[in-house]
Amino acid sequence: MFFRYILTTIFLYIIIPITCNGQNKSSSHISGNISIDNTWDSVIYLSHIPTFAEMYVMSNEMILAKTVIDSLGYFKFNIDFLPKEENLYRLHIIKKRDTPATLIIGGKDENHLFLIANCFSNIQLKSNSSYPPFKYVTYGNSEANTAFQQISEMVFKADSIASESSASKRLLIEAQLHKDLLLIADSSNNFLVSLFAIYKTKFESNYLSNMDFYKSYIKRWKNQDNAYFKTFAKQLPINSNSYLIVISVILAFILTVIGFFLGKLRLKKSKNFEKLSIQERKIYEFLQDGATNQEISNHFNIGLSTVKSHVSSIYSKLNVSSRRDIVNMK
């Protein structure tokens, strides 16, 4: 019995941490080659990105590890300490004399790269650009990260072309980009790749025109029990009270507009009614009760031609064309 306990303990605490799905944690790493000049520090940092909303947040607490970039541009991280679930990470370098928590966004000195990894990943990358260092990266053995990089390049290319285009052409480019990103999000089997494409669509501003897509998307990935999915779901107005607030605001605006025009219409009718003579007001009351010309003639002891003349004047002053219009007026 004691011998079985010893074997079980060894299995749980030694064998399981080393292997999973036939892979060996001891071989897991992120390695690569980047081209940098002497303005950059020869250290590269690995940070964990807890949600897509925090991709461009930087702090010392987010940094998990650092390693040296050698004289040929090579580096390597052992990542057996990462969790087995895939997460989003960031590699970044810094300019000499900058602090480790320096993040440069945009321009030739942009200093970071996002990638997907877990404790069993074996990721090899190569940068094909010096300015910025991570602009064009290729992966030798990671389909997910290749797709992730392609999304970034697609968005960068579209934004670059759109920035130099006319307003009408820019709208066409943005519409096509949005369509392409939704297609990637819908077809990718990797959740983090799919969600990255969604974030690049600026979903919070276009969910009303794609509500069915987002409802289906939430249903498709509902089993994702992680911070990435939960944060995204909370940001979607269709899954929060903010959606009801938006609808309420829209309805309130519509009702206000309707009320404004109805008020103007009532005011106009009120002013028109004031144009009626005393006799015309009396005949108007009979018309509202549905009286005929003959009944009005008999009641006021005036000729039919006079009644017709008054009715015609009432129509003109109230801007109506029939007795039914008068009956419906209040």
Q: Provide the pLDDT for residue 247.
A: 64
- The domain locations on the chain are 25-141, 158-224, 240-274, 275-330
Assess if CATH 3.20.20.140 describes domain 25-141. Answer: no
Can you name the residues that pair with 117 across neighbouring β-strands?
87
Q: Which residues of 184-215 are buried (b: 16+ CB within 10 A; e: fewer)?
A: bbeebeebbbbbbbbbbbebeeebeebeebbe
Burial 277-296 (b: 16+ CB within 10 A, else e): eeebeebbebbeeebebeeb
**Bridge-based pairing state of the strands 63-68 and 40-49:** antiparallel
- Greater confidence, 243 or 78? 78
Which fold, 275-330? Arc Repressor Mutant, subunit A (1.10.10)
Q: What is the pLDDT of residues 206-221, one digit of tens each?
A: 888 888 899 899 999 9
What's residue 24's pLDDT? Answer: 55
* Whether pLDDT at 104 is above 80: yes
Contacts of 16 (CB under 8 A, 6+ apart): none
What is the pLDDT, as a whole number, of residue 8?
Answer: 37
pLDDT, tens digit, 9 for 90 and up, residues 232-246:
988 887 554 555 555
Greater pLDDT, 301 or 80:
80
Q: Which helix (H) or strand (E) holds 319?
A: none
Are 25-141 and 275-330 in the same CATH fold? no
E strand residue ranges, the chain: 19-20, 23-24, 29-33, 40-49, 63-68, 74-78, 87-95, 112-117, 122-127, 137-139
Higher pLDDT among residues 83 and 279, named by residue: 83
Instruction: List, in sequence order, the alpha helices (H) in 188-277.
Output: 191-200, 211-220, 227-235, 241-273
User: How far is the C-alpha of 36 from the C-alpha of 286, rounded, in Å?
Assistant: 94
Of 92-96, 141-145, 210-214, 323-327, least confident by mean pLDDT is 323-327
Task: Supply the mean pLDDT for the chain.
Answer: 84
CA angle (202 as vertex; 200, 208 as ends), nearest 5:
135
pLDDT at 90 over 60: yes
Strand, coil or helix: 127:
strand
DSSP letter, residue 14: I
Q: Has this prediction a pTM greater than 0.75?
A: no
pLDDT for 67 equals 97
- Lowest mean pLDDT segment, chosen from 44-53, 106-115, 319-328: 319-328
Please name which of 182, 251, 180, 237 lies closest in space to residue 205, comparing C-alpha atoms. Answer: 237
108-151 pLDDT, tens digit each? 899 999 999 999 999 999 998 888 999 889 998 899 999 999 99
pLDDT band for position 284 (cuts 50, 70, 90): confident
Integer Cα distance of 45 and 145 in angstroms: 18
Hey, what are 206's tokens?
Answer: 């276009």
Q: How far apart are CA 280 and CA 60, in angstroms?
A: 85
Question: Is the pLDDT higher at 312 or at 189?
Answer: 189
